[in-house]
Amino acid sequence: MSGLFITFEGTEGCGKSTQVKLLADRLRSLGYVVHTLREPGGTPIGEEIRHTLKHSHDNAAMTAEAELLLMNASRAQLVREIIRPALAAGEIIVSDRFYDSTTAYQGYGRQLDLQHVETVIEFAVGETKPDITLLVQVPPEVSADRLRSRQANLPFVRDRIEEADRAFFERVDRGYQAIAAADPDRIKIVNGAHSIADVSVDIWSLIEPRLFRT
């Protein structure tokens, strides 16, 4: 029996990481074996790459092309080390970001050639694709406010991607809209501006019908 591969997507501050945890906890309470992952990262190699991409003090000169390749180096390792074996064992993957983030952030946000981005993604993931993707959307002003609040209230950890300007994040948001429009069967839009509890209910209504029974 093959497992179920669920991914969450969205701009900064949309609340997807909170919803990843809530969904995974609910699935585990029902007896499913669940792996929660994040991108970039999710493996020892991937976490090293994550630090280089986001938090290193030596990454200021990183080019968009290097960013694209590093993101997918982390992803290639994650797919082969964790995702494929878990799905083959009939388990559930709940991932905080996957390749749609690369299309949105490196393709639309960094304005790299979308065909080149797609080629690199295909090499990294092969046939390993999500069964369902939950795109948690909030208005740009809500995203910006939540990002400022997070940076003000949490211990400071530099995040190179969060340092991008507003125009970058507006392009990312437009990218997600285009991605969702092109693949409506897989990508389901969730209104992240509602309360955490209401968003969780909306997400469960999309996931529950897809579950296999243990």
CA 35, CA 207: separation in Å to the nearest integer? 15
Question: Alpha carbon of 49 to those of 69, 76, 182: distances in Å?
Answer: 10, 12, 30
Classify strands 132-137 and 4-9 as parallel, antiparallel or unpaired. Answer: parallel
Instruction: Name the pTM for this structure.
Output: 0.93
Q: Write out residues in the chain with pLDDT < 70, as ranges.
A: 1, 144, 146-147, 149-156, 213-214
Contact 39, 103 (CB under 8 A): no
Sheet holding 132-137, edge to edge: 34-38, 92-96, 4-9, 132-137, 187-191
Which phi and psi angles does 194 have, rounded to 5°?
Answer: -75, 175
pLDDT of residue 2: 86
pLDDT of residue 152: 62
Q: Which domains does the chain have, with CATH numbers?
A: 4-210 (3.40.50.300)
Cis peptide before 40 (omega within 30 of 0): yes
Instruction: Write down the residue that tokens 């970058």 correspond to.
Output: 168
pLDDT of residue 12: 85
pLDDT of residue 153: 63
pLDDT of residue 211: 95
91 closest CA partner among 28, 10, 17, 23: 28
Question: Alpha carbon of 42 to those of 50, 57, 68, 92, 203: distances in Å?
Answer: 9, 21, 17, 15, 23
Contact 187, 100 (CB under 8 A): yes
pLDDT of residue 162: 86
Residue type present at position 191: N
CA 53, CA 26: separation in Å to the nearest integer? 32
pLDDT of residue 25: 98
Instruction: Count other Cβ atoms within 10 Å, centred on residue 196.
Output: 12
